[in-house]
Amino acid sequence: MENEKLIVGLDIGTTKICAIIGRKNEYGKLEVLGMGKAVSDGVIRGIVTNIDKTVNAITKAVNEASEMSNVDIGEVIVGIAGQHIRSAIHHGVIIRNPKDDEITVEDVRRLANDMENIVVPPGNSIIHVMPQDYTVDYEEGVRDPVGMSGARLEADFHIITAQSAAINNIDRCVKRANLQSKALILEPLASSLSVLSDMDKEAGVCLVDIGGGTTDVAIFYENIIRHTAVIPFGGNIITADIKEGCMVMQHQAELLKTKFGKAISEEANPNEIVSIPGLRNRPPKEISVRNLASIIEARMEEIIEMVQSEIATSGVYKKLAGGIVLTGGGSLLHGVGPLFEYMTGLDTRIGYPNEHLGKSKIEEVKSPMFATTVGLVLAGFKALDDREDTYRLKESTGNSGLKKGYKSEQMGRDIFGSITKKLKNFITDDIGDDQQQY
């Protein structure tokens, strides 16, 4: 196990903090070796609000995963979310030397690095620079420009920013837990690695990760990220609505939501009643399942309307052949899929993080609740953009194959031209000698 690459994903969520350690098996699938989780008391809507409580939860989760896998954990890939996340499209351009034969990976890297220096609002930092479509000498719609000829290279970039204070607080918590942050990844992008296939991303799909504090949205089309957003409502706001609407305790509201909750009130039996224990010296309280469903439906409709607005903003609403894929703990709520279909008009399914999972003794990891953490582990083996994997492969091989082929072709042309020239001179001289004899 010492020579194998082990990756640890750390999801700092609003309701739970989860750590998963995994490796690739002989078939290229992810094998989960250990998992640990702890209740998250120091995070509200994806933002760390209590350092000490968050550090204690991280330590507990990481220790559980370490004991289960019998591996010492030092580096982790951390997820980030929260209503402070912003995304925008920016255009970049570079002018190459016309004498250069072809566009190289270095040119693409230079264009992307230039986008790291764009001006962002004060207090924000760039966490992701993701290219969309390239343009080479005004020829639009180029997916991968490497190997093409051209002097002007430009592209649209999907820039994702986060509050610098939120990033620093996450980094501080990780360091105080005696860990090192290897990378910081936006959580919906991590979830997409574990839940979506390449075919889904090519056809066009909207991933909706319904967590405890936030609902994360990531929209793909033609295998390229088109839009990301974080909606500041999740499962916890539904629990709060039930608590106020039914006048019950917080833990009772959570149990009512998970065991008896429905996202469509018409599916609930109007005659079904749930009896829960009352307060001290008080009789039990009776809750109508139909009324409970009405409370849940009202809040879910609000969340779906916000998701629908984000899809419209992306500009690919009518192009999402893959529809909507729901994941996260909130996707397990009864009837949430049909409600999404009814309100958006798009096909909807529940996404499970078993797209790249191999056999594992931990069956719990296949739940949508752990899609983000599994995705963070996969991010250690696979880039968020498949073109990046191709570029890394070319860099590791020195990109020699393409250039060598080009040089061999040029050499062949030079040799052929030289032979043709000599033959032409020989024939000319021979004809001249014959004419002199006559």
**Model pLDDT for residues 128-179, shown as the tens digit of each residue:** 999 999 999 988 988 889 888 888 999 999 999 999 999 999 999 999 999 9
Give the pLDDT score at 399. Answer: 53
The pLDDT-based confidence of 26 (bands split at 50, 70, 90) is confident
- Residue 416: predicted pLDDT: 38
Q: Letter for the amino acid at 109?
A: R
What's the whole-number mean pLDDT along residues 47-60?
93
Could you tell me the pLDDT band of residue 345, with boundaries at 50, 70 and 90?
Answer: very high
Nearest to 228 by CA among 181, 198, 190: 190
Domains of the chain by range and CATH? 85-162 (3.30.1490.110), 197-350 (3.30.420.40)
Work out the average pLDDT over 377-396: 80
Residue found by looking up tokens 């402070």 in the block: 84
- Give the number of other CB atoms < 10 A from CB of residue 207: 26
Quote the pLDDT of residue 382.
Answer: 83
Distance between CA atoms of residues 189 and 319, nearest Å? 20
Angle at 21 between CA 15 and CA 26, to 5 degrees: 140
C-beta of residue 364 within 8 angstroms of C-beta of residue 20: no
- Residue 363's pLDDT is 84
For 102, other C-beta atoms within 10 Å of its C-beta total: 16
Q: Is residue 14 within 8 Å of 236, Cβ to Cβ? A: yes
- Number of Cβ within 10 Å of residue 147's Cβ equals 15
Which of 24-38, 168-182, 189-203, 424-438 has the least mean pLDDT?
424-438
Distance, CA of 234 to CA of 257 (rounded, Å): 13
pLDDT, one tens digit per residue, over 64-90 is 999 998 989 989 999 998 889 999 999
Indicate the residue type of 368: P
The yes-or-no verdict on residue 400 having pLDDT over 80 is: no
Q: How far apart are CA 112 and CA 129, in angstroms?
A: 7
